[in-house]
């Protein structure tokens, strides 16, 4: 479903954030990407929906190359949850933020209304629909970002630190939500217990490369491997 080949990316200041990286992710699988601060995880996931375009190498989703020409198709297939929800929410009302994507697709107004209401209710945000997203709490913003992605019914969902602001109950809710989605899922997280609960496979990133990849529970229980990459065992194994 996702094929990354020889991908490299440098920021304008010269920082090489992705270095000759290759990775394949099977359709319907759930893959965690873990690694220290600055390893290149956000830079990588921002390539998966064309927010960044490859400087060198290629990224394909469902056989479609991520490039300028295919961006509309890629946006329809891939929902990306940014690390910072403020990058995702920009309208004056939460409701309008969630309706924005379907409106852009040119769907019928009545269908949009049903879709938006359903997703807002599912995420316990219906009561907050008239609030400016900027006035939501951090955790509410996180679920609001989810709503803007889920309403598009993507084939692939990519999440960058989705649990960062969640209380234990909402974290659990998110685990159940993600495990109930039968689509291809890519999760970047420092919350290795969350990765344990939601991912089948895990890739460790270090200095812009994937240095190890395998079944989640093998990788996440390998203390030496984790420590060599500035990570620690999930709390449940400590």
Is residue 17 near ligand ATP by the rule CB under 6 A?
yes
Contact between residue 61 and residue 156 where contact means Cβ atoms under 8 Å apart: yes
Residue 35 engages ligand ATP in binding (rule: CB under 6 A): yes
Sites for ligand ATP among residues 42-61 (CB under 6 A): 42-43
CA 161 – CA 219 distance, rounded (Å): 19
Coil, helix or strand at residue 74: helix
15 contacts ligand ATP (rule: CB under 6 A): yes
Of 32 and 102, the one with the shorter C-beta distance to ligand ATP is 32
- Smallest gap from Cβ 11 to ligand ATP, in A, equals 3
**In the set 11, 130, 132, 179, which binds ligand ATP (CB under 6 A)?**
11
179 is a site residue for ligand ATP (CB under 6 A): no
**Residue 119 CB partners (closer than 8 Å, separation 6+):** 98, 147, 150, 151
Per DSSP, the three-state class of 7 is strand
Please give the residue whose beta carbon sits closest to Mg ion in the complex. 42
Q: Give CA–CA dist 49/123, Å, rounded.
A: 23
Nearer to Mg ion, 42 or 102 (CB): 42
Packed helices 168-179 and 138-150: angle between N→C axes, nearest 10 degrees: 10
Q: How would you classify residue 86: left for phi > 0, otherwise alpha for psi between -120 and 50, otherwise beta?
A: alpha
Q: Give the footprint of ligand ATP on residues 81-110 (CB under 6 A).
A: 83
**How far, in whole angstroms, is CA 221 from its chain's centroid?**
23
- 151 or 202, CB closer to Mg ion? 202
Does residue 40 touch ligand ATP according to CB under 6 A? yes
Choose the one of Mg ion, ligand ATP, none that binds residue 11, judging by a C-beta under 5 to 8 angstroms depending on kind: ligand ATP
Q: Select 41 or 75, whichever has its Cβ closest to ligand ATP.
A: 41
Stretch of residues binding ligand ATP (CB under 6 A), selected from 30-38, 66-74, 147-155, 192-200: 30-38
d(CA 19, CA 210): 9
Contact present, 213 and 23 (Cβ < 8 Å) = yes
Applying CB under 6 A, the residues found at the interface with ligand ATP are: 11, 13, 15, 17, 35, 37-43, 83
């Amino acid at each position: 479903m996702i094929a990354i080949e020889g991908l490299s990316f440098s920021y304008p200041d010269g920082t090489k954030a992705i270095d000759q990286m290759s990775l394949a992710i099977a359709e319907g699988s759930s893959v965690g990407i873990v690694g220290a601060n600055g390893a290149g995880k956000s830079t990588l996931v921002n390539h998966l929906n064309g927010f960044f375009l490859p400087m060198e190498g290629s990224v394909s989703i469902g056989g479609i190359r991520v490039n300028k020409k295919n961006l509309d198709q890629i946006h329809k297939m891939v929902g990306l949850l940014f690390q910072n929800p403020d990058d995702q929410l920009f309208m004056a009302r939460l409701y309008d933020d969630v309706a924005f994507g379907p409106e852009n697709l040119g769907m019928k107004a009545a269908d949009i209304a049903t879709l938006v209401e359903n997703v807002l209710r599912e995420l316990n945000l219906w009561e907050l629909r008239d609030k400016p997203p900027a006035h939501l709490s951090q955790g509410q913003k996180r679920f609001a970002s989810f709503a803007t992605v889920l309403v598009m019914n993507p084939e692939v969902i990519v999440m960058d630190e989705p649990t960062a602001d969640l209380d234990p109950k909402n974290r659990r809710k998110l685990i159940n939500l993600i495990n109930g989605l039968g689509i291809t899922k890519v999760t970047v997280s420092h919350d290795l217990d969350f990765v344990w609960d939601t991912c089948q496979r895990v890739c460790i990133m270090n200095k812009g490369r994937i240095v190890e990849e395998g079944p989640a529970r093998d990788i996440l229980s390998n203390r030496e491997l984790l420590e060599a990459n500035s990570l620690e065992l999930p709390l449940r194994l400590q």
